[in-house]
Amino acid sequence: MTKSIKKETMFPIELGFIINPELPIIALALDVFETQCADKHSHPRAQLIYSCSGTMRVTVENHVWLVTSRQAIWVPSLYEHHVAFLKNNHVRNLFIDTSVLSNLPDTCFALDVSPFLRELILRIVNIGTDYQMNSAEGRIIQVTLDELAGIKSTKCFLPISNEPRLKKVMDELINNASDKRTIEEFASLACTTSRTLSRLFIKEVGMTFVNWRKQIRMMEAIERLEKGIPIAQIALELGYNSTSSFIEVFRKEFGVSPSNYLKEKN
């Protein structure tokens, strides 16, 4: 069953605190709207937070990620984290018992969710907690654990910052990736200078303003490609002068054209 939460803070989910080796994975489906955790928290179970649709701002210790549709964040056991769901999100969570964590990643990162792992996640959500490991459902659980052991950080992720001036600029671009304002105009919005803003980007996220804006556009492009929006329309909506210029930037970033990217991912 999917729980719906709208415009409120959400307290730590008790499933993360259940210690039970007989239930190595417990799943939870959430449909949320402009919702965030009440505060940073941690729990014994590791957590995979998968966004079927929508965007999440995830803070883990001193790192902040923007996680988009079809991506997930892996949060190891006892890592302090905070999640804010931007607009409408359909989220699927897997909570992993401490008894099976030895073969799973021990660092936090964002990842692309493969079609196979996505189907496993959705299947486990329907299984709930009524399963035995020697059953058909238990075999699905085991296959999922095997898949999680091999997950890797995505090449397409966006580090973000909670520094107030930088956050103001980033929020503008997250909400509208096609925004063509110059760094001087964004600096004015953030009540600072373009020089200071440039330094903040390098200091906080290790990227220049130009590269960060290019990356948010590429992430938005991928999300739109997966929705079946035509390449020419995406190029126009994201502010590129032509379809060919968009394809060239995309190819430089990912090594393939937008159409071939989709073929490889599927």
Query: What residue segments make up the domains of the chain, in order of their start?
Result: 2-149, 161-265
Average pLDDT by stretches of 10, the chain with 266 residues: 52 82 94 73 94 83 78 93 81 95 92 93 91 95 96 81 93 90 97 97 94 90 86 94 94 89 73
Query: What single letter denotes the amino acid at residue 153?
Result: S
First to last CA, the chain: 28
Dist CA 45 CA 42 (whole Å): 9
Dist CA 234 CA 16 (whole Å): 39
The Cα-based distances of 208 to 69, 171, 242 in angstroms read: 24, 16, 24
pTM of the model: 0.74
Q: Class for domain 161-265, per CATH? A: mainly alpha
pLDDT at site 146: 97
The count of other CB atoms within 10 Å of the CB of residue 221 is 26
- CATH no. for 2-149: 2.60.120.280
pLDDT at site 68: 80
Q: Which two tokens stand for residue 127?
A: 């299984």
pLDDT at site 37: 67
The Cα-based distances of 212 to 169, 170, 190, 216 in angstroms read: 11, 9, 17, 6
pLDDT at site 55: 80
Bridge partners (DSSP) listed for residue 158: 66
Bridge partners (DSSP) listed for residue 159: 65
- What is the torsional sign of CA 233, 235, 237, 241? negative
